Amino acid sequence: MTQERSLEPEGAVAVIDIGSNTIKLLVAELSSLGDLKVLHERSEATRIESELSTDGHILTANGMDSALKAIERLVEESLSHEPLHVRIVATGLVRDSMNGKLFAEKVCDSTGYELDIISGDEEAVGIALGVGTDSSFSNRSNYLVCDLGGGSLELIRVESRIVRSTVSLPLGAVRLTKRFVSNANGASVQSERDEIADHVRQALCSSGFPLPPSPLFMIVTGGAFATVRAIFAEAKNISFDNCSIISSSDLATFSTEFGSLTIDQRVDRFPPLQKERADIMPTALIVILTLLEHFKVSEVHHSLKNLRFGLAAKLLDCANSIGIKKKTD
């Protein structure tokens, strides 16, 4: 049974977002202005391992166990803030796994809180709401949001602050690395890089996602983009806050160099890079570059505020103040 108290006008909420490569906690409350005030954040680089069976993808026992331990730690950490509500959600990889419901049962048994395996549409709308909490884009009404995770890629078209189109595609960096890369610890193989790019290109073209009008303002979220931003900030000797705009030309140059290195060389060469992410980054960079090519975008604007911020905004009932709405049929 989910343990929660009735929401009151004031108080904190906690959101735990279970991605395939990272499990993230956000504790937030309403500010005096009626928007989101962050009280606490933490991420655990815990990859949920999966394997392909005759019936489809399944989460491994070890993968579920390591994820459960991370979730237990984050739940305990959140409770020190006495949240009025704790929401735990899982996205792409768990959503697409045959034993995702079993994992949800394990989370509930272990923590006392239900795990919501949310749909791709709910994930995309939540991401759009999260980006809506970013004051950097408060004066923007029309843009495309791209969120790249380990299991999936979400695309959200926002026009006049209304979510007009969403799509969730199985193009996450962990998923594609497992499928196409023979040795993720070694230097990239060009034929495998080409296969990944072709696969992403075909998936985008066949997705039915409408091309937004030009000029296109693209906002990007997800761990791969945050890692690239940190690496570029250090290389340019500027602060992370001042490195939110990333050009496609810089990404292309970086991808070529990065792909030529082994996993140990990547970590040594680029200190902001965590080893837990270093194996999938070559694939992530290919996905990103193919995405920018598809939408004919020369630069992207990175935001740290995605799904968990959007879910917290909904729990705190401040979505109206954000001004992002979902199109109604």
Output 53 or 313, whichever has higher pLDDT: 313
In a domain, 315, yes or no: no
Q: Answer yes or no: do 107 and 142 share one domain.
A: no
Which of 6-20, 87-101, 141-155, 270-284 is predicted with the least confidence, judged by mean pLDDT?
6-20
Question: In CATH, what number is assigned to the domain containing residue 31?
Answer: 3.30.420.40
Q: Answer yes or no: do 146 and 284 share one domain.
A: yes
Q: Answer yes or no: do 155 and 288 share one domain.
A: yes
Band (pLDDT 50/70/90 cuts) for residue 328 is low
Mean pLDDT score, 31-60:
83
Q: Answer yes or no: do 101 and 158 share one domain.
A: no
Q: Answer yes or no: do 180 and 109 share one domain.
A: no
- Domain end marker among 121, 155, 180: 121
Q: For 239-277, how does the pLDDT look when each residue is reduced to its tens digit (9 = 90+)?
A: 999 999 999 999 999 999 999 999 999 999 999 998 889
Please state the domain count of the chain: 2
Q: Give the model's pLDDT for residue 5.
A: 42
Q: Give the model's pLDDT for residue 7.
A: 42
DSSP classification of residue 35? S
Q: Is the pLDDT of residue 327 over 90?
A: no
Q: For 217-249, how does the pLDDT look when each residue is reduced to its tens digit (9 = 90+)?
A: 999 999 999 999 999 999 999 999 999 999 999
Q: Give the model's pLDDT for residue 319.
A: 59
Question: In CATH, what number is assigned to the domain containing residue 144?
Answer: 3.30.420.150
Distance of CA 8 to the CA centre of its chain: 29
Q: Answer yes or no: do 142 and 109 share one domain.
A: no
Q: Answer yes or no: do 53 and 152 share one domain.
A: no
Q: Give the model's pLDDT for residue 1.
A: 42
In a domain, 218, yes or no: yes
Mean pLDDT score, 114-131:
92
Q: Is the pLDDT of residue 52 over 90?
A: no
Q: Answer yes or no: do 211 and 98 share one domain.
A: no
**Beta pairing class for 12-18 and 23-30:** antiparallel
In a domain, 316, yes or no: no
Q: For 163-194, how does the pLDDT look when each residue is reduced to its tens digit (9 = 90+)?
A: 999 999 999 999 999 999 999 999 999 999 99
In a domain, 317, yes or no: no
| pTM recorded for the entire structure | 0.90
In a domain, 129, yes or no: no
**In the numeric block, which tokens belong to residue 208?**
């039915």
In a domain, 260, yes or no: yes
Q: Residue 24 belongs to what domain range? A: 12-121
Mean pLDDT score, 125-129:
93
Q: Is the pLDDT of residue 41 over 70?
A: yes
Q: Answer yes or no: do 43 and 190 share one domain.
A: no
**In the numeric block, which tokens belong to residue 131?**
């980006």
- Domain end marker among 64, 96, 121: 121
Q: Answer yes or no: do 152 and 294 share one domain.
A: yes
Q: Answer yes or no: do 146 and 289 share one domain.
A: yes
Q: Is the pLDDT of residue 322 over 70?
A: no
- Domain end marker among 71, 95, 121: 121
Kindly provide the residue ranges of all beta strands, DSSP E only, lying in the chain, ordered along the sequence.
Answer: 12-18, 23-30, 36-44, 50-52, 57-59, 85-90, 115-117, 143-148, 153-159, 162-169, 218-221, 245-247, 299-302, 325-326
